[in-house]
Structure 1
Amino acid sequence: MSYFGKNIRKIRNVKKLSQQAFAELFELKRGTLGAYEEERSEPRIETIIKIANHFSITIDDLLTKELTVNKLLKFKDDLALQGSFNKEEFTKIPCITPKTEADYIQYYDKPHFIEDLPKLHLPINPDKKYRGYLISNLEMTNNDKAFCPKDVVIGEHILAEDFTKIENGSLVIVLVHGKIFFRKFYHSSATITLRATNTNIDDLEVSPTEIKEMWSVCYTFFKRLPENNNIEIEQKLNFLEQEFMKLRQNFK
């Protein structure tokens, strides 16, 4: 059994290298590196030698032993951290950005690609599966309201059999027809309609079987403070209350 795929993945994580950066370092294609890590393909001897020499690892260790993090960091195995401490970890949410969107459409079902996506760290339920999406268009904007570029939405994964359980009008992130859409969700007996807030954008009608992924939006983060009519009303009420107090004082 060769540990090559597992070891190079661990090396990347320790050295904080993405698949793309690691592949370019050794003149490989990203897909080729992914195949090595997933043990779907065996590397050429020249590639093994280059990687072993670059990281000062013997070929024998690279191929036949599962490398430890301590070894990769040049630490001795007996220098383990003494004692214990309370460490809080937030849920890490892979986020789709304009730079990664094209690759996501192609590699959305590849675990190692998902691992390389930028992460959002939030104190939310770690047992659920989430996906973040950085908005880059005006499809969900109307008269400079609602969602704008640079806003971030986070969706919870929805299984195909649960598509029809989503309430009409809910916000969703959908991978369908080779594109990613952030829209409002509506469904009938056999059709799902994805509707933009921008009235200049046509509805997209799809069959549930055409959808590769769907995420029901549960958290939103705005780059700017959205307009809030309640705040304006509260400010006006405070002003009126202050004026009323002044009048009372004048009549005393």
Structure 2
Amino acid sequence: MSFFGKNIRKIRSVKTLSQQAFAELFNLKRGTLGAYEEGRSEPKIETIIKIANYFSIPIDDLLKRELTVNELLKFKSSLSEQHDLSNPETFKQIPCITEKNTTDYISNYQNRSFVQDMVQVTLPVDSSETMRAFVVTNLEMTNQNQGLFPKDVVLGTFVKKDKYKNIEHGSIVLVLTKDQLILRKAYVINNTLVLKAEHQNIDELNFVLSEINEIWKITSVYQRRITAISSGIEDKLSMLEKEFAKLRSQI
């Protein structure tokens, strides 16, 4: 049994390379590389030599045993310097749904290779759960100057189908149906998922739970703007203090 497929997949993970980027390094097609990783095809000896030389990995090690992350971090390549890290710090890489790849995601959300090749958001998130990032594209979740705006990024954790009815009313969720992605507040009533926008002029949507392909419960938001630190009450108190100061100066 060859460990080539497992090892090159692990190399890609350590070097943060998509299948497409890795394949281009060695003049391969992405589908060919995917076949290598899944053990559906064996590479030519020339390809094995190129990859082994590029990453300074002995060919026997590349083929005959599963390499560890620490070993791969020590191997040289033109993409990274040699580091001896016994306990390297790692950030979580989260597949990100953008305006450009939304249509493809709706069709290929179950395709593991597609998800692996999506643009990744790397963040210091301490979570072992499966997550998705989503770039907001509309004003459905805004109310006046509050809420989520286009280009904000939300992070969601995967909700299993048998947990749909446990979603708390008013939770913000990203919902995948057969033909659309919807970011709204969720209300589960019997077997119906009611999705309400924050914007007052947008009608609610209703779906039977069995029609839902995925639900991601939003847990974090990364905004493109700095929100005001002071509250409205603090502003009013500050204004009153100034008015009192004026009155005292007139007495």
Q: Could you state the TM-score of these two structures normalised by the residue count of structure 2?
A: 0.75
Matches within 5 A, 1:6-25: 6-25=6-25
Task: Classify 1:128/1:153 alpha carbon distance in 2 versus 1 (closer, same or farther; 3 Å).
Answer: same
For residues 198 and 242 of structure 1, the distance between their equivalents in structure 2, rounded to whole angstroms, comes to: 36
1:53 aligns with 2:50: yes
Task: Classify 1:240/1:131 alpha carbon distance in 2 versus 1 (closer, same or farther; 3 Å).
Answer: same
Name the residue aligned to 1:105: 106
Which residue identity is paired with 1:73? K
On the 8 A contact 2:3/2:64 being kept in 1, the answer is yes
For residues 71 and 134 of structure 1, the distance between their equivalents in structure 2, rounded to whole angstroms, comes to: 35
The alignment-based identity, stated in percent, is 44
On the 8 A contact 2:14/2:73 being kept in 1, the answer is no
Residue 150 of structure 1 deviates from its aligned partner by: 0.7
Q: How many residues align?
A: 240
Task: Classify 1:28/1:108 alpha carbon distance in 2 versus 1 (closer, same or farther; 3 Å).
Answer: farther
Name the residue aligned to 1:187: 188
Matches within 5 A, 1:57-136: 61-67=61-67, 68-69=71-72, 72-73=75-76, 81=84, 91-109=92-110, 113-116=114-117, 117-123=119-125, 125-136=126-137
Could you list the runs of 5+ residues in structure 1 that have no partner in the other structure? none
**Partner SS for 2:183:** strand
Task: Classify 1:91/1:62 alpha carbon distance in 2 versus 1 (closer, same or farther; 3 Å).
Answer: closer
Name the residue aligned to 1:42: 41
Structure 1 window deviating more from structure 2 (149-158 vs 219-228): it is 219-228
Task: Classify 1:173/1:89 alpha carbon distance in 2 versus 1 (closer, same or farther; 3 Å).
Answer: same
For residues 30 and 60 of structure 1, the distance between their equivalents in structure 2, rounded to whole angstroms, comes to: 24
On the 8 A contact 1:96/1:118 being kept in 2, the answer is no
**Partner SS for 1:73:** coil
Residue 97 of structure 1 deviates from its aligned partner by: 2.5
Residue 136 of structure 1 deviates from its aligned partner by: 1.9
On the 8 A contact 1:49/1:59 being kept in 2, the answer is no
Could you list the runs of 5+ residues in structure 2 that have no partner in the other structure? none
Which residue identity is paired with 2:42? P
How big is each residue's C-alpha offset from its partner over 1:95-144, in whole Å with a ceiling of 9 and x where there is no partner?
32334434433443455654554124135x42444322111233333556
For residues 60 and 140 of structure 1, the distance between their equivalents in structure 2, rounded to whole angstroms, comes to: 55
Name the residue aligned to 1:219: 220
How big is each residue's C-alpha offset from its partner over 1:23-48, in whole Å with a ceiling of 9 and x where there is no partner?
34455443443343233x11353xx5
Residue 244 of structure 1 deviates from its aligned partner by: 0.9
Task: Classify 1:208/1:36 alpha carbon distance in 2 versus 1 (closer, same or farther; 3 Å).
Answer: farther
Which residue identity is paired with 1:8? I
On the 8 A contact 1:11/1:72 being kept in 2, the answer is no
How big is each residue's C-alpha offset from its partner over 1:222-241, in whole Å with a ceiling of 9 and x where there is no partner?
2124578x723322221211
Task: Classify 1:6/1:155 alpha carbon distance in 2 versus 1 (closer, same or farther; 3 Å).
Answer: same
For residues 202 and 139 of structure 1, the distance between their equivalents in structure 2, rounded to whole angstroms, comes to: 10
